[in-house]
Amino acid sequence: MKIFRKIIDGCVGFMRKYLPEPFIFAIILTFVAILVAIPVCHQSVMEVVCNWGGGVWNLLGFSMQMALVLVTGATLAAAPLIKKGISSLASMPKTPAGAIALVTGISAVACWLNWGFGLIVGAIFAKEIAKKLKNVDYRLLIASAYSGFVVWHAGISGSIPLKMASDVNELTKDTNGIITSVIPIGNTILDPHNIIMVVLVTVALIAINALMHPKTGIVAIDPALLQEDDETKAEKTTTPAMRLENSRLLSAVLSLLGFTFLIISLFIKKKTFDLGSVILLFLFLGIVLHKTPIAYVRAFAKSVGGAAGILLQFPFYAGIMGIITGVGESGICLGTVVSEAFINISNSTTYPLYTFLCAAILNMFVPSGGGHWAIQAPIMFAAGEALNVDHGLTGMAIAWGDAWTNLIQPFWALPALAIAKLNAKDIMGFCLIDLVVSGVIIIGGLLIWAL
């Protein structure tokens, strides 16, 4: 155990010393991508800069979605009824290790069901536990809440397997004609190999996170610093405008409108419960549970500040994606170069492994499932077919790689960090241990799946 503790302390210390603030990290990745793209892709400085600038706004819609899922989720959690429910659940663990294990398990299950929901719920739940349980390491608690995110691409909201199971015409186009029929989720998300991998990764994370809790040198947090000010004020509704602001009926009717749309969309039109659906669910639940429109407005305004990191950094990652996917007169794409390098050293057994590693590397620069799909789908499925590798396995290898390095990529941690009021360097040392442990299981699972 002493060696294990030294490894943990070393990882935590390393990340605290060398991992910069997430915005600085995004800037460094930008220049790394530029310096690699120029010689490797034989592009001029002007071509690379234009590719970067051309990509800056490509995540604008997604940036707004991520900001809204954070703000609406935090606002919903501030509703009196939800706060009471979370508080009761947070009272269950009696020991720090038990708290860490519970947060990890709830986060993983929630992320597997829906990544946007899990990302917010895990952080909010962890923060509530910190208010109630003394001597629990707050950094590890938030890291545990984030660690469950590694299973999201292997879950029912994973963008890559869902793309493979949707529009066949779009799928055929994206894969340059390699795939001509949809790949059902029974061959990807619900394949027994994938289910076993998800379970093993989740159990391993629960165990390793609980074991990582220090016995000395605990970085706890004063619960008073986590308490939210209750700004609810009793106001006399003396004017027509104030009556509208404090109308419970108005909130109820508006929420009914939103819920009706969700029911029609999900159960009648059979659409996917995607990120937009999560936002609408958070939004209208929040409106009805805050009871009056003005109460919701005030709670929403208090939550908006947490979205600052998302709004600042996402355009820079979109620019990096532009560099990775962009081509110049040479016709060479950096993402293609990286993918083909792994293909060239693969055989039918190792191909899923190298596909996973390729996706993991690209994810550090392009932390977006859609971006990965655009880069790898035309190349990886063609190579997989040539090596007689099942398309479902190829897709899940990309999906797992896309999710795995999220553990040390601050991009996706921003919402959780905003809720927790921590910096990336506070949790990434623990996440580095989770990366190694989960990586061993994923790699072993993919190799077995390929046999």
pLDDT category at 233 given cuts 50, 70, 90 is low
pLDDT digits (tens, 9 = 90+) for 68-89: 888 898 888 888 888 888 889 8
Residue 40: its pLDDT value, please? 93
Cα separation, 146 vs 410, in Å, equals 11
Residue 229: its pLDDT value, please? 54
Count CB neighbours of 390 within 10 A: 17
pLDDT digits (tens, 9 = 90+) for 52-69: 999 999 888 888 888 888
Tokens linked to 84: 């009471």
| pLDDT: which is higher, 274 or 299 | 299
CB 286 within 8 A of CB 72: yes
pLDDT digits (tens, 9 = 90+) for 161-191: 888 887 788 889 888 899 989 899 899 999 9
Tokens linked to 47: 């071509």
Looking only at Cα atoms, what is the longest distance across the chain?
76
- Ranking 141-150, 198-207, 208-217, 230-239 by mean pLDDT, the lowest is 230-239
Q: Per-residue pLDDT for 234 more than 60?
A: no
CA atoms 339, 344, 348, 353: torsion sign = negative
Q: Per-residue pLDDT for 232 more than 80?
A: no
402 Cβ neighbours under 8 A, 6+ residues apart: 153, 160, 359, 360, 363, 369, 372
**With left for phi above 0 and alpha for psi between -120 and 50, is residue 368 left, alpha or beta?**
beta
Q: Per-residue pLDDT for 239 more than 80?
A: yes
Residue 97: its pLDDT value, please? 94
CA atoms 143, 156, 412, 83: torsion sign = negative
pLDDT digits (tens, 9 = 90+) for 343-379: 999 998 999 999 999 999 988 988 777 777 878 888 8
Residue 27: its pLDDT value, please? 94
Q: Per-residue pLDDT for 388 more than 60?
A: yes
pLDDT category at 31 given cuts 50, 70, 90 is very high
Q: Which of 61-65, 193-197, 304-308, 338-342 has the highest mean pLDDT?
A: 193-197
**Angle, vertex CA 370, rays to CA 364 and CA 376, nearest 5:** 70
DSSP string, 220-242: ---HHHHPPP---------SHHH
pLDDT averaged over every residue in the chain: 89
Tokens linked to 415: 């919402």
Tokens linked to 416: 């959780």
Cα separation, 254 vs 413, in Å, equals 32
Q: Which of 398, 257, 314 is nearest to 65 (CA)?
A: 314
Q: Per-residue pLDDT for 213 more than 90?
A: yes
pLDDT digits (tens, 9 = 90+) for 394-445: 999 999 999 999 999 888 888 888 888 899 999 999 999 999 999 999 999 9
Q: Which of 138, 61, 132, 51 is nearest to 100 (CA)?
A: 138
Q: At what angle are helices 391-404 and 351-365 packed, to 10 degrees?
A: 40
pLDDT category at 5 given cuts 50, 70, 90 is confident
Tokens linked to 350: 């190792």
Residue 363 in 3-state DSSP?
helix
Cα separation, 86 vs 89, in Å, equals 5
The distance in angstroms from the start CA to the end CA of the chain is: 35
Q: Per-residue pLDDT for 319 more than 80?
A: yes
